[in-house]
């Protein structure tokens, strides 16, 4: 390995500093930047000055005439010459791909279009105020989409930060498939929005969840027997109604029906058409007497349920006394 050619003192460079020196060498970059390389090449009668600039084609292949160009500056210490490659803004390793991010190739300052992970010691920004930008991550399989992080306009000039809490292990947090083109993650407000063991509940329709304040034991089961203790009970929504002209509307699971002032002779009946959207043909209806102005206690009820309605019939079972006055009828619909 050696110097193929060298040119000192180019035409017009006499007494000009810095002087440019041209060389073609077959040696590697590591070799020509080794202290003493030029001392061993027999440059006599040429003299190397500290102000010289060396234009060197290294790794030159004599057969193909191809090499790598570099610009070098010398330092001289106690007669030993050492070449250092000068780095400039145009030192780019080709080929490069349009719109790719440039990376440093080693520590010499050369930039190239690499595939190794690129790092930045500060923040990375996509877009700018008024210009949208997204961060896209592609999977290893081609044509399988990507994961995109994209910002949308906030109400005010505020930032939205996504960060993790301190974790005790390496974790992969996956977003499940919503089986829909649009979806929302469930979010709890404040740093500690939930109480351990309590049920979370939705607050509005935007995906915000809050603590219900109730443990699972506070809820009734639809598939098992429920035992209530203390103040626990089922309270049915109560709707009252007043009968008039043999008809009444009271659409509740429980309530009070007040009849008109009746006159039902002994052995006779009084039928009331009862409209109640809670009633179905399979409903179980319970009726009780809860007072009224009538004093005849010799009567009974039947109730035939239908779809949203029932026929409530009052039977006067007294041998001679008429029903006279109002009757308060308490009801429950199951």
What was the pLDDT predicted at 329? Answer: 97
What was the pLDDT predicted at 149? Answer: 93
Strands (E) across 151-238 are located at 187-188, 200-202, 208-211
What was the pLDDT predicted at 16? Answer: 73
- Residue 315: CA atoms inside 13 Å, Cβ hemisphere, count? 6
What was the pLDDT predicted at 1? Answer: 53
Question: CA torsion, points 98, 102, 106, 108, in degrees to nearest 10?
Answer: 100
Q: What phi, psi does 40 have (nearest 5°)?
A: -90, 0
Domain boundaries, the chain: 3-85, 241-333
Q: SS3 helix, strand, coil % of the chain, rounded to 5?
A: 5, 35, 65
Q: What phi, psi does 130 have (nearest 5°)?
A: 90, -10
What was the pLDDT predicted at 294? Answer: 96
pLDDT tens digits, the chain, 334 residues: what are they?
Answer: 588 888 886 666 666 778 888 999 999 999 999 999 988 777 767 788 899 999 999 999 999 999 999 899 999 999 899 999 876 656 787 788 899 999 988 877 788 888 888 888 898 899 999 999 999 999 999 999 999 999 999 999 999 999 999 999 999 999 999 999 999 888 998 888 989 989 888 888 888 889 888 888 777 788 888 888 888 788 888 999 999 999 999 999 999 999 999 999 999 999 999 999 999 999 999 999 999 999 999 999 999 999 999 999 999 999 999 999 999 999 999 9
Strand, coil or helix: 30: helix
Closest among 55, 56, 63 to 27, alpha carbons compared: 56
What was the pLDDT predicted at 148? Answer: 94
Residues sharing a CB contact under 8 Å with residue 188, sequence separation 6 or more, in sequence order: 194, 200, 208, 209, 210, 211
* Cα–Cα distance measured from residue 287 to residue 94, given in angstroms and rounded to the nearest whole number: 93
Distances from the Cα of 272 to the Cαs of 132, 148, 191, 302, 304, in angstroms?
70, 66, 59, 10, 11
List, as one string, the DSSP characters of 239-261: --EE-BTTEEE--SSEEEEE---
Instruction: Please indicate, yes or no, whether the overall pTM of this predicted structure exceeds 0.85.
Output: no
CA angle 164–187–194, rounded 5-degree value: 90
Task: Verify cis geometry, omega within 30 degrees of 0, for the bond prior to 87.
Answer: no
């Amino acid at each position: 390995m050696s110097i193929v050619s060298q040119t000192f003192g180019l035409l017009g460079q006499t007494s000009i500093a810095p002087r440019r020196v041209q060389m073609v060498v077959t040696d590697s970059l590591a070799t020509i930047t080794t202290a003493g390389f030029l001392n061993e090449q027999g440059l006599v009668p040429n003299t190397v000055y500290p102000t010289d600039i060396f234009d060197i084609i290294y790794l030159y292949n004599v057969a193909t005439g191809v090499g790598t160009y570099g610009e070098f500056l010398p330092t001289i210490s106690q007669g030993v010459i050492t070449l250092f490659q000068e780095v400039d803004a145009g030192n780019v390793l080709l080929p490069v791909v349009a719109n790719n991010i440039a990376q440093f190739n080693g520590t010499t300052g050369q930039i190239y279009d690499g595939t190794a992970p690129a790092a930045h010691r500060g923040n990375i920004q996509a877009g700018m105020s008024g210009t949208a930008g997204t961060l896209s991550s592609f999977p290893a399989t081609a044509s399988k989409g990507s994961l995109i992080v994209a910002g949308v306009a906030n109400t005010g000039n505020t930032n939205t930060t996504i960060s993790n809490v301190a974790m005790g292990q390496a974790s992969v947090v996956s977003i499940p498939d919503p089986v829909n083109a649009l979806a929302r993650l469930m979010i709890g407000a404040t740093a500690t929005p939930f109480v351990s063991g309590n049920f979370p509940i939705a607050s509005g329709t935007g995906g915000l969840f809050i603590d219900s304040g109730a443990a699972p034991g506070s809820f009734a089961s639809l598939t098992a027997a429920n035992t209530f203790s203390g103040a626990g009970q089922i309270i049915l929504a109560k709707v009252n109604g007043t009968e008039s002209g043999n008809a009444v509307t009271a659409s509740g699971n429980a309530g009070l029906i007040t009849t008109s002032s009746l006159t039902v002779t002994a052995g006779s009946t009084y039928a009331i058409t009862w409209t109640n959207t809670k009633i179905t043909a399979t409903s179980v209806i319970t009726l009780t007497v809860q007072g009224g102005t009538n004093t005849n206690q010799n009567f009974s009820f039947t109730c035939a349920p239908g779809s949203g309605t029932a026929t409530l019939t009052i039977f006067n079972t007294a041998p001679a006394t008429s029903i006279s006055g109002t009757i308060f009828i308490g009801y429950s619909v199951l």
